[in-house]
Structure 1
Amino acid sequence: MASGNHQDIVGFIWNIANKLRGPYRPPQYRHVMLPMTILRRLDLVLEPTKEQVLEEQKKLTAKGMIGPALEAALSRVANGGNRKQALYNTSPFTFQKLLGDAPNIADNLISYIRAFSPRVRDIFEKFEFEKEIEKLDDNNRLYLIVREFCSTEFDLSPSRLSNLQMGYLFEELVRKFNEQANEEAGDHFTPREVIRLMVEMMFVYEDEVFKAGKYSSIYDPTAGTGGMLSVAEEYIKRNNPDANIELYGQEYNPESYAICCSDLLIKDEEIGNLVYGDTLGIKDAKSRSYNFVPHDGHPDKRFHFMFSNPPFGVEWKPEKSYVEDEAANGFSGRFGAGVPRINDGSLLFLQHMISKFHRSPSEGGDGSRIAIVFNGSPLFTGDAGSGESNIRRWIIENDWLDTVVALPDQMFYNTGIFTYIWLVTNKKPGNRKGYVQLIDATRHYRKMKKSMGNKRNELSDEHISELVRLYGDFRHNAECDIQSNGGTEKRICSKIFRNCDFGYLKMTVERPLRLNFQASPERIERLKNETAFHNLILSKKKSVEAQQEDFRNGKVLQQALLDALHGMQSETLHLSRTDFVKALDAALKSAEIKIDAPLKKAIFNALGERDETGEICRDSKGNPEPDPELRDTELLPLPDDTFLPLPIGYDKDADNSKLLKLVRNHCEEYLQREVLPHVSDAWIEHSKTKVGYEIPLNRHFYVYKPPRPLEEIEADIKAIEADILNLLREVTS
């Protein structure tokens, strides 16, 4: 198909869409035009065998054949054995015949759609196209649109367009209509140039995939309208026409699922490989309510190449119980490394995809590659030991994180934030093993002539080529020519780091608790605000009389305790808690008062004050008690070339004693060098030491810009003052 013819057909369909204006706004055109385009294509595909199918149906149903056997037989007749799909239609109508009964065109068109094979009917149910038919008919647009699709100027027949060409045409329509509807469809549509970048980077080191007959599986767990699957397939086919490719996906949005299914159907791909439902749960389409159960649409499959653009910053609360149940099973499920915060489930999708890895080449398998789009949160959100940090740690310590590419802002239709492409794989080339590449592409863009929603920037072919080259070259401190202020400047755009460079230790530094104690009137008064003291007058008994009795007894005990404390030597300042306890016990014994541990702690809180000259408070074993108010945390890099044991399961049987000793010594050396010279009584609570991982990409590419010279700033201030004085003169003159 010539490019011009392709664009002519797209333009013709767009002109038909403009006839919907009035009942529909332009962002809503896709609800009609995409299903109608599919219908017309299928109508023309099935037209040559229409009569044979009707005769075969009549003959076989007379023999009592029903169900899958009948469907298979009708598909063979309809397609002559030349299609992968079960595709047929048993309605006597065609598009041309629909025009012959204008008054009943709506009912006849619905009947025509219901006569398709089951998977095709499912597509139009997900489109909810019957509602659109009724709306078109009510607004006197249905006959007009069907007639336009039957125009002799508009030929979608297989003799004019092959399946592959029709697939390209349909994808172009999806792109145009989704861009028109960016506010509504942005969640399910990734800009094509971003997909191209992901795809081209994915295959830089993949020579095998371009060998004749090579089988490859491609998967997208958030398939949307299928853009990533289509572009990846197109790229491989363009470089290897004989490649054997299977596409797999899962999508929870009904309309996006229908569009993706339609694209596969048009190109005669296996639509059974596309599963409807949320990757983390199932959406009940009929009730439109969220009825989630654990649901991996391809539970036993592994894939060679995986792509995804999961929702940014979307909470996974509806799936919470199911995800946490699966996470509790460790690495026998998909989320063994941990779960992120409830308000962003991005890293759940990445863990799900990693669970689909083929065995690595070192284990005798093909290995797998992942390209996934994230916002900034998965890079650094979460403290050491948190779910996000543990997930990053699991990925990096397994040497799966290959590259992170920082994209410009304002690249997506529904958000203007900065986004990041992660490349994750268990088949790194030898020179990349043990390393992670960071690429700063935030300055690689050109302004669009016309913005589309939040999308104002785009990648050019040159930008994509340069970023793919940077990835393939794998050079530290590689520079690029960046356009800036009308000129060109050199900027470092690629850096290489060891895996362990992203890890750190978070250690807790304690200092001893030092208090003085005094039974002064002011401190005794503070006891009245302590919870344990107030609880003396409360009762858990049910009867009112019993509650009143407990209240009276409690008041008596409160007063007796206050009197006993007032009876202590109020002028005496105890610098030792041990000495104060002896005095307190003597006073309580004299007053015949017995108190429990919470009440005793309340007395310490009220009558004690922090005092650097006080003795160190110690526990029953003689160990210093830490002062929570003086507690501090210190972050320090991991010991060089050391991977530390994860506390989350995957290496729980390893002998970690040497590593733990190394960590302890590393922390103690830091304490001796950096802390003790300033506070000599500090110590590290090693049981609280945690390992964290973050990827501070922006920090690594930060470029310092010195402030302007003071002379320039002063000159600007004087100029502004002069302007103000001139304005004042004009006002007063």
Structure 2
Amino acid sequence: MNQQALSAFIWSVADLLRGDYKQADYGKVILPFTVLRRLDCVLEPTKEAVLAEHAAKTAQGMNPEPFVLRKAGQTFYNTSKLDMRKLMGDQDNIAQNLFAYIQAFSPDVRDVFERFEFAVQVDRLAKAGLLYQVTEKFARIDLHPSKVDNHQMGLVFEELIRKFAELSNETAGEHFTPREVIRLMVNLLFVEDDAILSKPGVVRTIYDPTAGTGGMLSVAGEHLVEHNDKASLVMYGQELNPESYAICKADMLIKGQDVANIVFGNTLSDDGHPHEKFDYMLSNPPFGVEWKKVEKAVRTEHESQGFNGRFGPGLPRVSDGSLLFLMHLLSKMRPAVDGGSRFGIVLNGSPLFTGGAGSGESEIRRYVLENDLVEAIVALPTDMFYNTGISTYVWVLSNRKPAHRKGKVQLIDASSFWRKMRKSLGSKRKEMGDDDIATVTKLFGGFHAAKLATVLDADGNETARRVVLEGEQSPGAPEGGKVRLAPLSLVFPNEAFGYRTITVERPLRDDRGRIVLGERGKNKGKPQADSALRDTENVPLSEDVVAYFRREVLPHAGDAWIDHEKTRVGYEIPFNRHFYVFEPPRPLAEIDADLKQVTDRILTMIRELSA
């Protein structure tokens, strides 16, 4: 059964719930029952062996848990004689038997169903007379990994969550990230470490502080196994949404991961892994979401711990907390002497440029650039995410840059690398194909500067596109057509994004136009500044401030001076400005000819009407 058919089948349970449940509450029933059936199917082949082992070790007075886990071949177990199919044999006691079955799971699985508040839903279904029908519906489907693999199951959960989020007007994108975006991010994380990750028995850690249903961790694990089936990726995560956390934890259980590494709670106010450092990290924090709820905890940590805490560089404005997650990930980087770390984080456009010199955002950008932590920033196509159509960017940061990347930042504009989806999913109308992901990965992995050549025919229609690496020849133009070149990958020194904001003062004048001088202190005898005429200028770090002032200011205001005490250093990354290509308008004679043609046609029509 493919993913769409399976999702449709599970979704048909909603027909049973209609009337007794609001649409927004369907997920409270369908999600935990789907998880339960998945776990039920996973344990089915070893059920009899587990029961026999549990009975034998209990009779011997031994703790049966380690023996039962070995027999189950999983990191969880169930010691009840019941399973979902056997529950169907006693319709009158379905609720009590279902509770008993849940309680017979190992503690981690019971925690999953507590997060779902499953007991509340079982009682509600029983009172509505629907419990047996719903259970029977799920008992009929086979969710064993041999029929539905882990990757497919993850897609099923994401599809269901998206549907429920749409019905309840929630933001589906808060719970998961499109798989092709994750694949791109994972490629960018691993591409420079091919040699290390190819070694037999290599073990690495990966962390997602906004884990959702665990999609990022799962794709990273699948990617590494495809690359080297002798490698091992130990997964860590934290998630705030109870249902997403429950699904993530269940998924990690089935994959054999240590679910103690998946923590419930708010990453910003209550770090679930306070003393851990990781090899790789991934995150897609919520875009443009305020952090007022955790403001007190965050400010306290910033003020009391400084750079010994997570938020030393500065604090962004309360209206958008995405840069807090970036700083949180910085604090989780393994020291460079111990092998270092690399992480990828999805952010909207705001963290690139919001905030002037001295602001929290600028200070955070200053910290990561002056410490040479930013490897690359990749612009994604718009309409890629389920809950927003805005521009998004993948930042790749590392404290173990290879020598050829040191002191530099690569910007890649992948905003044109997409194909239209056959069917939109919320705000998601575009997706990146495998070729698109491979192209971006190659540009990043090879640290290439490149242009995108678009070949246009005589009618202006696109006939081909080609990536032209630095030093390569661009394709020739067809007869009557042309080739349009646009920057695709650019490399800049870190300081290219820095500037000094200087304060330009003009003298205060009295009613007669005479300059007013200071009468006391260090300004005695010096011209007083007129605050109404005060202005600021941003001078690139690569330029001499005095030379800039003489060239750009003094010719227009000969009495101006710089107040050096107010000079501030700022950083911004004007991504779009670097990739803007000016296209000159058509020749004036051509435009005039078109206008004359239209005007003549209108005059002809008027004459015909008046005839």
1:331 aligns with 2:307: yes
Aligned residue for 1:381? 354
With over 3 angstroms needed to count, the CA separation of the structure-2 counterparts of 1:14 and 1:31, relative to structure 1, is farther
Q: Tell me how far apart the structure 2 counterparts of residues 671 and 188 of structure 1 sit (CA, whole Å).
A: 50
TM-score, length-normalised on structure 1?
0.73
Q: Tell me how far apart the structure 1 counterparts of residues 154 and 25 of structure 2 sit (CA, whole Å).
A: 17
1:177 aligns with 2:160: yes
Aligned residue for 2:297? 322
Q: Tell me how far apart the structure 1 counterparts of residues 211 and 455 of structure 2 sit (CA, whole Å).
A: 34
Q: Tell me how far apart the structure 2 counterparts of residues 11 and 430 of structure 1 sit (CA, whole Å).
A: 50
With over 3 angstroms needed to count, the CA separation of the structure-2 counterparts of 1:453 and 1:713, relative to structure 1, is farther
Q: Tell me how far apart the structure 2 counterparts of residues 84 and 514 of structure 1 sit (CA, whole Å).
A: 83
Q: Tell me how far apart the structure 2 counterparts of residues 441 and 672 of structure 1 sit (CA, whole Å).
A: 40
The alpha carbon displacement at 1:172 in A equals 2.7
Map Cα deviations across residues 319-339 of structure 1 (whole Å, 9 max, x no partner).
Answer: 111111111121110000000
Aligned partner of residue 216 in structure 1, secondary structure: strand
Q: Tell me how far apart the structure 1 counterparts of residues 552 and 144 of structure 2 sit (CA, whole Å).
A: 77
Correspondence 1:646-725 to 2 at 5 A: 666-711=544-589, 713-714=591-592
Map Cα deviations across residues 654-685 of structure 1 (whole Å, 9 max, x no partner).
Answer: xxxxxxxxxxxx32232233322332221111
| Counterpart contact for 2:6–2:156, Cα < 8 Å | no
Aligned residue for 1:255? 243
Aligned residue for 1:265? 253
Aligned partner of residue 492 in structure 1, secondary structure: strand
Correspondence 1:189-200 to 2 at 5 A: 189-200=176-187
Greater displacement, 50-59 / 690-699: 50-59
Aligned partner of residue 296 in structure 2, secondary structure: helix
Q: Tell me how far apart the structure 2 counterparts of residues 480 and 110 of structure 1 sit (CA, whole Å).
A: 63
| Counterpart contact for 1:57–1:90, Cα < 8 Å | no
- Aligned mate of 1:11, from 5, 9, 13: 5
The alpha carbon displacement at 1:622 in A equals 2.0
Aligned residue for 2:471? none
With over 3 angstroms needed to count, the CA separation of the structure-2 counterparts of 1:9 and 1:433, relative to structure 1, is closer
With over 3 angstroms needed to count, the CA separation of the structure-2 counterparts of 1:260 and 1:269, relative to structure 1, is same
With over 3 angstroms needed to count, the CA separation of the structure-2 counterparts of 1:478 and 1:682, relative to structure 1, is same
Aligned partner of residue 512 in structure 1, secondary structure: coil
1:230 aligns with 2:195: no
Correspondence 1:275-424 to 2 at 5 A: 275-281=263-269, 295-328=270-303, 329-360=305-336, 364-424=337-397
Map Cα deviations across residues 331-388 of structure 1 (whole Å, 9 max, x no partner).
Answer: 110000000011011111011101111111xxx3211001000000000000001000
With over 3 angstroms needed to count, the CA separation of the structure-2 counterparts of 1:635 and 1:10, relative to structure 1, is closer
Q: Tell me how far apart the structure 1 counterparts of residues 93 and 251 of structure 2 sit (CA, whole Å).
A: 30
| Counterpart contact for 2:3–2:155, Cα < 8 Å | no
The alpha carbon displacement at 1:189 in A equals 1.1
| Counterpart contact for 1:54–1:92, Cα < 8 Å | no
| Counterpart contact for 2:208–2:236, Cα < 8 Å | yes
1:75 aligns with 2:65: yes
The alpha carbon displacement at 1:137 in A equals 4.1
- Paired AA for residue 80 in structure 1: R
The alpha carbon displacement at 1:486 in A equals 3.8
| Counterpart contact for 2:454–2:462, Cα < 8 Å | no
Map Cα deviations across residues 49-94 of structure 1 (whole Å, 9 max, x no partner).
Answer: 453366369758xx7xxxxxx9xx3422432366563x33344532
Q: Tell me how far apart the structure 1 counterparts of residues 82 and 71 of structure 2 sit (CA, whole Å).
A: 23
| Counterpart contact for 2:7–2:160, Cα < 8 Å | no
- Aligned mate of 1:20, from 1, 14, 22: 14
The alpha carbon displacement at 1:712 in A equals 5.3
1:202 aligns with 2:189: yes
Aligned residue for 1:467? 440
1:634 aligns with 2:537: yes
- Aligned mate of 1:99, from 88, 98, 116: 88
- Aligned mate of 2:501, from 502, 506, 527: 506
Q: Tell me how far apart the structure 1 counterparts of residues 238 and 607 of structure 2 sit (CA, whole Å).
A: 71
The alpha carbon displacement at 1:8 in A equals 4.6
| Counterpart contact for 2:517–2:528, Cα < 8 Å | yes
With over 3 angstroms needed to count, the CA separation of the structure-2 counterparts of 1:124 and 1:696, relative to structure 1, is same
TM-score, length-normalised on structure 2?
0.87
- Aligned mate of 1:450, from 423, 429, 451: 423
With over 3 angstroms needed to count, the CA separation of the structure-2 counterparts of 1:711 and 1:105, relative to structure 1, is farther
The alpha carbon displacement at 1:219 in A equals 0.3
Correspondence 1:46-85 to 2 at 5 A: 47-49=47-49, 51-52=51-52, 55=55, 59=59, 73-80=63-70, 83=73, 85=75
Percent identity at matched positions?
A: 47
Between the two proteins, the alignment pairs up a number of residues equal to: 574
With over 3 angstroms needed to count, the CA separation of the structure-2 counterparts of 1:10 and 1:670, relative to structure 1, is closer
Map Cα deviations across residues 453-500 of structure 1 (whole Å, 9 max, x no partner).
Answer: 111111011111111111122223443558994433543200000000
Q: Tell me how far apart the structure 1 counterparts of residues 610 and 588 of structure 2 sit (CA, whole Å).
A: 33
Aligned partner of residue 248 in structure 1, secondary structure: strand
Structure 1 unaligned blocks of 5 or more: 1-6, 64-69, 282-294, 517-574, 576-612, 641-665
With over 3 angstroms needed to count, the CA separation of the structure-2 counterparts of 1:490 and 1:684, relative to structure 1, is closer
Aligned residue for 2:463? 487
| Counterpart contact for 1:482–1:491, Cα < 8 Å | no
Q: Tell me how far apart the structure 1 counterparts of residues 608 and 52 of structure 2 sit (CA, whole Å).
A: 92
| Counterpart contact for 1:357–1:368, Cα < 8 Å | yes
Aligned residue for 1:603? none
With over 3 angstroms needed to count, the CA separation of the structure-2 counterparts of 1:731 and 1:48, relative to structure 1, is farther
| Counterpart contact for 2:17–2:26, Cα < 8 Å | no
